[in-house]
Structure 1
Amino acid sequence: MRRFSADYLTDTRRGMWADRSALAPLALDSRTRVLDVGCGTGELTRVLREESDAEVVALDADPDLLRAADADARALGDATRLPFRDDAFDLVVCQALLINLPEPRAALAEFARVSADLVACVEPDNAEVVVESSVAAEAPLAKRARDTYIAGVETDVTLGSSAAALLREVGLSDVESRRYEHERTVRPPYDAPALDAAKAKAAGTRIEEQAPTLRRGGLSRTGVDELKSEWKAMGRAVVDAMAAGEYERRAVVPFYVVAGRVASADESGGESADEADGDDPRESGGDADAGETDTERDAVDVPES
């Protein structure tokens, strides 16, 4: 599983759910117990708590990230081996998690096991990202770097648009998918994250960090060096434009909110966990104040995770 820093997750999720209409399929106002898998620093967890009276449990594999999540309870755990009994929740959901897992179906099967009703995911398709910039070199350079990154990354960072098929493959029914566009803009006056991002471009930081993936995507070592040189030149142009108060950038990352229903006990011929025992849904496998992973990353201004 790919992992990311708290600062990175907070920055890339800023303003993500200003419009929450795409979350309608989750029927949050009717939920009683919700699990946010791979919660990271808890950006989606916060939305779930604001939109529902349900008990919201946050789970992540990274204890440092998990501590930042504001939830009714927190648990340290693996998305493919959830530390909960069957049917413990009526909604299990993740955001930008599946694109960072080598076996997303295994995670979805676990979601279905611990959910008595609905399974949902919010996943981007990084192949559909659009970048517009007042610096002419930025958009084509970002697309070139992003396409190379997607070709080299070891998980499917484009699966958002095909997530509905994955939910059906693990046996979920009544699958519904909605596209939600997360728009991130930079314009004057510039805040600290925007200024830091410009400095990182001028230093070629992201290209250097993602060099192994870019090489797997088809670039030679020389090719990576050349891309980094172009990236740094573009970054210096961005810094200069910001100094003049003339830089503007718009990036649109398409996310797909996909939800499917778990077969009921009558439909599956089985007995629910609530009928089988009266245990608390949170087993001792997770610490009520520990954590797991959210996931998202820009290759060089994109892949979201």
Structure 2
Amino acid sequence: MRRFGADYLTETRRGMWEDSREALADLRLRDADGVLDVGCGTGELTAVLREECPGRVVGLDRDPDLLAHARRDGPVVRGDARSLPFPDDAFDVVVCQALLVNLPDPTGVVREFARVARERVAAIEPDNAAVTVESSVDAEAALARRARERYLEGAATDVALGANARETFETAGLGDVRSRRYDHERVVEPPYADREVEAATRKASGADLRERRATMAGSEEDLDALRESWRDMGREVVRQVRDEAYERREVVPFHVVVGSVDDT
């Protein structure tokens, strides 16, 4: 199971569900007395669930450092998604976001969710193979695609699982499985936030690829060449940021999959 820091989770989930929550409709949160958010991390989805659900919402994560950053307007519990510390039928809904893509046995984890759920199991999972990038820096989109291909090839888990999450639910024995797509759009444009200026600097130094190198496929020569091109691109990003001319749009497609435990 891969581990992520609080800053990474906060940044990648920033702005999710701010504009529309229609894709969450099949969770029927308004009808739920109890919801468990598994792998809640720093609590971004947990907060949304608490806004939408009139009942009790519990966040769970195995990482105590992440739980320390979770929003404290409700209960959080330390535990493992593969063996939830709850009895059968403890919650109406059990849900996760961007968790199954990081696990070697997502089907087994969904079965564990179904054990604890009385009514519904849900997963909000990205299709990392379908991410798109548009940028005012000509080289950035192509380099982002090359880096993503290396990442997809080198990943130890199915990081594009979102597109096939429905099949995972059906294999796990869930019934009446439904799926909706939600596109998480991240836009960078002037005036820039401090985190966006820092991200530009990291591109120019190649820090992004250096930190991800262990999970990327390819020869040392290929990865060195990619990083050098990435740094050249990053220097142009920094120049455009200084001129307040840099713009970037990234779209990460998520699939919201919901299944019923009634038929299991």
Relative to the length of structure 2, the TM-score reads 0.97
1:2 aligned partner? 2
Q: Distance in 1 between matches of 2:115 and 2:74?
A: 21
Moved more, 5-14 or 138-147: 5-14
Amino acid at match of 2:221: T
Q: Distance in 2 between matches of 1:147 and 1:12?
A: 19
1:222 aligned partner? 221
**Alpha-carbon displacement from aligned partner over 1:233-254 (angstroms, at most 9, x marks no partner):** 0000000001011100000000
Once the two structures are TM-superposed, the CA of residue 105 in structure 1 deviates from its matched residue by: 1.0
- Counterparts in 2 of 1:34-45, with a 5 A limit? 34-45=35-46
Q: Which has the higher contact order (CA 8 A, sep 6+)?
A: 1
Q: Please say if 1:176 is aligned against 2:178.
A: yes
Q: 2:101 aligns with which of 99, 102, 122?
A: 99
Q: Distance in 2 between matches of 1:166 and 1:95?
A: 15
2:246 aligned partner? 247
Q: Structure 1 unaligned segments of length 5 or more: list them.
A: 269-305
1:17 aligned partner? 17
Once the two structures are TM-superposed, the CA of residue 222 in structure 1 deviates from its matched residue by: 1.3
Larger Rg: 1
What RMSD in Å do the two structures reach over aligned CA positions? 0.9
1:291 aligned partner? none
Q: Secondary structure at the match of 2:41?
A: coil
- Counterparts in 2 of 1:114-263, with a 5 A limit? 114-214=116-216, 217=217, 219-263=218-262
Amino acid at match of 1:155: T
Once the two structures are TM-superposed, the CA of residue 128 in structure 1 deviates from its matched residue by: 0.5
Q: Structure 2 unaligned segments of length 5 or more: list them.
A: none
Q: Distance in 2 between matches of 1:45 and 1:126?
A: 22
Q: Distance in 2 between matches of 1:260 and 1:54?
A: 20
Once the two structures are TM-superposed, the CA of residue 151 in structure 1 deviates from its matched residue by: 0.5
Identical pairs, percent: 56
Relative to the length of structure 1, the TM-score reads 0.84
**Alpha-carbon displacement from aligned partner over 1:29-54 (angstroms, at most 9, x marks no partner):** 11100000000000000000011111
Once the two structures are TM-superposed, the CA of residue 68 in structure 1 deviates from its matched residue by: 2.1
Q: Distance in 1 between matches of 2:76 and 2:214?
A: 34
Equivalences, count: 262
